[in-house]
């Protein structure tokens, strides 16, 4: 007997028919003798519907004033889900009980709409499990010290599930989603993309931060901090496939690096086209210019991703960075109106038609020449690299957006990710 946490996304909970299937799947695990905790998301579309109502009443773009009330409203989506799933499980003949975040309680800080979990009291849940009940807990939400409802931000139910698994010291946390695991890259772009049977926690963290949408990044951070065995698998397999088969499906996020003797050098290719590149040309090269430029950007609440400063020529340098495309106009305005005049720089140029492509793999730590292989593969396709940035287990390049698919396919092949042995 093991203690297992299941998490189901909004699509899996999207209709009563689908909720019935979730109940049958959970019932299968319970009947196999496992203690079950289930964390479902809101029914698909529900959170958007609720926030759209709120937006109609608060047309101001400044939503922080209403943040407490937004959480009050948005938290109801998951509350409905847990009640419905509990009824579906009882209709299957099992004992089940649902709890909201505040009932557990899941304590968070007071940062409405993006709260962080601080502690989980598992006493009530454990008592129910010991009494033979399946426990269903709302994802996405908690309660702060003053008894206000808080939410964890979009995708927060992943984090809730991992946090509950950590608090309960669960044997495994299974994230059921609409893909059947973590792939070497997006199969819609590279048909040869393969599902990874395992991926290291660090690689998963890079993949999540680089644009892979399989898991919310904070849930991966949480899993790493508490070493929660985490598996991503499909909720679209028939609910009645043998439990042994299901328990081995999907992708397991691991913490033991030597678990796979034949660790691939590169595990996956991530990409996104959410960014825009901005270059300040002809900046006088003196100490503090990075701070003068990026400090002003940060003060405007704009996140910067890749940052690059070229060597200087004749006392002048060019300073480039990327921001989210939504922040592009705002950043350009800020630089042109304030930063460039103050710095005495020449001008600002921007490019919104870029993308970022990254290779990720813990094998890069011990293998030389990985970046060189990447650059050669891109070069052979005639793709010009605009920016490069590296970390211990990833290398990212910024290129023309139009080459994105070509680059991903070339890199996928160059690192042999279509070969079964790479897993």
Backbone φ and ψ for 318, nearest 5 degrees, come out as -110, 140
Task: Decide: is 241 part of the binding site for its own copies (CB under 8 A).
Answer: no
> Are the C-beta atoms of 399 and 407 separated by less than 8 Å?
yes
Choice from 2, 31, 64, 91 touching its own copies (CB under 8 A): 91
d(CA 256, CA 246): 22
Cβ proximity to its own copies: between 29 and 112 the closer is 112
SS3 (DSSP) at 166: helix
d(CA 287, CA 309): 12
Report in angstroms how near the CB of residue 56 gets to its own copies at its nearest.
4
d(CA 38, CA 96): 10
Per residue, the 3-state secondary structure of 3-33, as one string, reads EEEEEECCCCCCCHHHHHHHHHHHHHHHHCC
Which span (55-63, 201-209, 329-337, 401-409) binds its own copies, by CB under 8 A?
A: 55-63
Task: Decide: is 209 part of the binding site for its own copies (CB under 8 A).
Answer: no
Choice from 1, 57, 123, 368 touching its own copies (CB under 8 A): 57
Choice from 3, 32, 87, 296 touching its own copies (CB under 8 A): 87
DSSP, residue by residue, 371-416? HHHHHHHHHHTTPPEEEEEEETTEEEEEEEGGGHHHHHHHHHHHTT
Choice from 12, 35, 47, 98 touching its own copies (CB under 8 A): 98
Choice from 12, 35, 47, 86 touching its own copies (CB under 8 A): 86
Which positions from 20 through 49 interact with its own copies, judged by CB under 8 A?
Answer: 20, 23
Choice from 2, 58, 127, 349 touching its own copies (CB under 8 A): 58
- Regarding beta strands 134-137 and 35-40, do their DSSP bridges make them parallel or antiparallel, or are they unpaired? parallel
Is there a binding annotation on residue 47?
yes
> Are the C-beta atoms of 336 and 281 separated by less than 8 Å?
no
Report in angstroms how near the CB of residue 83 gets to its own copies at its nearest.
4
> Are the C-beta atoms of 171 and 2 separated by less than 8 Å?
yes
Size of the site for its own copies (CB under 8 A): 39
Cβ proximity to its own copies: between 98 and 185 the closer is 98
Choice from 26, 88, 204, 404 touching its own copies (CB under 8 A): 88
> Are the C-beta atoms of 285 and 312 separated by less than 8 Å?
yes
Is there a binding annotation on residue 150?
no
Task: Decide: is 82 part of the binding site for its own copies (CB under 8 A).
Answer: yes
- Burial per residue of 337-365, b for 16 or more beta-carbon CB atoms within 10 angstroms, e otherwise: eebbeebebeebeebeebbbbbbbbbbbe
Task: Decide: is 408 part of the binding site for its own copies (CB under 8 A).
Answer: no
- Positions at the binding site for ATP: 7-10, 177-178, 183, 188, 213-214
Interface contacts to its own copies, rule CB under 8 A: 16, 19-20, 23, 50, 53-54, 56-60, 65-66, 68-70, 72-73, 75-76, 79-80, 82-84, 86-88, 90-91, 97-98, 100, 102-103, 147-149
């Amino acid at each position: 007997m093991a203690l297992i946490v299941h998490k189901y996304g909004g699509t899996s909970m999207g209709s009563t028919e689908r909720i019935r299937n979730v109940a049958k799947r959970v019932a299968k695990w319970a009947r196999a003798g496992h203690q079950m905790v289930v964390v479902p998301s809101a029914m698909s579309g529900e959170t958007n519907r609720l926030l759209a109502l709120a937006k109609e009443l608060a047309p101001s773009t400044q939503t922080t004033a209403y943040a407490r009330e937004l959480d009050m409203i948005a938290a109801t989506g998951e509350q409905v889900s847990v009640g419905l799933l509990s009824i579906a499980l009882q209709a299957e003949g099992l004992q089940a009980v649902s709890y909201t975040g505040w009932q557990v309680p899941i304590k968070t800080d007071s940062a409405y709409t993006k709260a962080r979990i601080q502690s989980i009291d598992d006493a009530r849940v454990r008592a129910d499990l010991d009494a033979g009940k399946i426990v269903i807990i709302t994802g996405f939400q908690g309660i702060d010290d003053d008894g206000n409802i808080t939410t964890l931000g979009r995708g927060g139910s992943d984090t809730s599930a991992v946090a509950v698994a950590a608090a309960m010291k669960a044997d495994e946390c299974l994230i059921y989603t609409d893909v059947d695991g973590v792939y070497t890259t997006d199969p819609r772009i590279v048909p040869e993309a393969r599902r990874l049977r395992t991926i290291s926690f660090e690689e998963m963290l890079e993949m999540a931060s680089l644009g892979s949408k399989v898991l919310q990044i904070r849930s991966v951070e949480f899993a790493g901090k508490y070493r929660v065995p985490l598996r991503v698998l499909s909720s679209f397999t028939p609910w009645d496939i043998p439990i042994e088969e299901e328990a081995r499906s999907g992708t397991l996020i691991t913490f033991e690096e030597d678990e796979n003797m034949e660790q691939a050098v590169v595990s996956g290719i991530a990409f996104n086209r959410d960014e825009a590149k901005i270059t300040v040309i002809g900046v006088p090269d003196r100490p503090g210019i990075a701070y003068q430029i990026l400090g002003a950007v940060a003060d405007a609440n704009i996140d910067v991703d890749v940052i690059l400063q070229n060597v200087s020529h004749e006392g002048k340098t060019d300073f480039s960075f990327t921001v989210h495309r939504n922040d592009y106009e705002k950043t350009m305005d800020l630089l042109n109106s304030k930063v460039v005049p103050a710095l005495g720089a020449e001008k600002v140029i921007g490019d919104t038609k870029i993308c970022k492509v990254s290779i990720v793999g813990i094998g890069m730590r011990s293998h030389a020449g990985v970046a060189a292989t990447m650059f050669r593969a891109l070069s052979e396709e005639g793709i010009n690299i605009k920016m490069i940035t590296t970390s211990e287990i990833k290398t990212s390049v910024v290129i023309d957006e139009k080459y994105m698919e070509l680059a991903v396919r070339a890199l996928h092949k160059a690192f042999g990710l279509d070969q079964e042995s790479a897993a």
